[in-house]
Amino acid sequence: MTEWVVLDIEGTLSSTDQVLVVLYDYARPRLGPWIDEHGDDPAVARAVAQIRELSGATGGTDDLVRVLHGWMDADQKVTPLKTLQGLIWQRGYETGDLVAELFPDVVPALRKWHGDGLRLAVFSSGSAPGQVAFFGHTSEGDLRPLFEHHFDTVNAGPKREAASYLAIASALGAGDPAGITFYSDVPAELHAAAEAGWRTVGVARPGEPNADADFSPHPVVGEL
Ligand SMILES: CSCCC(=O)C(=O)COP(=O)(O)O
Ligand SMILES: [Mg+2]
């Protein structure tokens, strides 16, 4: 019996365009200024060191931004990029520049699950602070009270590795991994979760990039 429902964001709760167009376009011109203005922030300094280590970039901010834009163009969800994007989006939500848009079926489903006593958490490549800001500023209000945990590639690990799902199960204190159900639009993420003993549900939303993906052997829904 499911005790926990763990949810992906992009393609599952929110459209791919909401992330790859709205949020990415917001972050793109702000990455360089953010690095220059917040170099003393330990999270930014760590991200800059990771960018250099992963890319071999040795130049100044322009060089770092070139690497970051390349990762964004290829939609590579690299941890230092997600950290910096998350900080920029956090500011964007706080100032009112950004409002998170969810698929219309999402909030009723989340409220129903929550009301039925299921416990909710998020696992996304987007940074945990960015996730919290996102759910705090949706067009349907502040949804933060619905979620007990936010997992990302820093506090859990890569989304396509079973070890990340084992780490999350442990953090949730879930005695039986089969008591956790994971919803995602990416088959490779579902395979990794199933390898860790979780229940899985593929989300194939019409019009989304993975609508026609092969989700077998996972059950598939078109909405929550
Ligand atoms: C503030 S939420 C942004 C989500 C994000 O950055 C992202 O890359 C989404 O990836 P997901 O793992 O949710 O598909
Ligand atoms: Mg996704």
State percent of the chain over pLDDT 90: 99
Joined together, the tokens standing for residue 177 give 């991994």
Closest atom, ligand 1, to C-alpha of 131: 1
Whether the CB of 152 sits within 6 Å of ligand 1: no
Using the mean position of ligand 1's atoms as its centre, give its distance from the Cα of residue 36 in Å: 24
Whether the CB of 150 sits within 6 Å of ligand 1: no
What pLDDT is stored for residue 175 in this prediction? 84
pTM of the model: 0.96
The domains of the chain are located at: 4-15+99-221, 19-95
pLDDT tens digit sequence for 142-183: 999 999 999 999 999 999 999 999 999 999 999 899 999 999
What pLDDT is stored for residue 2 in this prediction? 81
Query: What integer is the mean pLDDT of 203-216?
Result: 98
Q: How far apart are CA 3 and CA 24, in angstroms?
A: 34
Ligand 1: residue of 77, 94, 101, 152 to mutate (most ligand atoms within 8 A of CB) is 77
Fold of the domain spanning 4-15+99-221: Rossmann fold (3.40.50)
Q: Which residues contact 66 (CB under 8 A, 6 or more apart)?
A: 57
Ligand 1: residue of 17, 78, 101, 124 to mutate (most ligand atoms within 8 A of CB) is 124
Whether the CB of 125 sits within 6 Å of ligand 1: yes
Whether the CB of 89 sits within 6 Å of ligand 1: yes
Whether the CB of 134 sits within 6 Å of ligand 1: yes
CATH of 19-95, one of 1.10.720, 1.10.1760, 1.10.150, 3.40.50: 1.10.720
Closest atom, ligand 1, to C-alpha of 185: 14
pLDDT reading at 190 higher than 90 = yes
Query: What integer is the mean pLDDT of 36-61?
Result: 98
In 3D space, the residue among 214, 162, 168, 169 whose CA is nearest the CA of residue 187 turns out to be: 214
In 3D space, the residue among 173, 117, 166 whose CA is nearest the CA of residue 149 turns out to be: 173
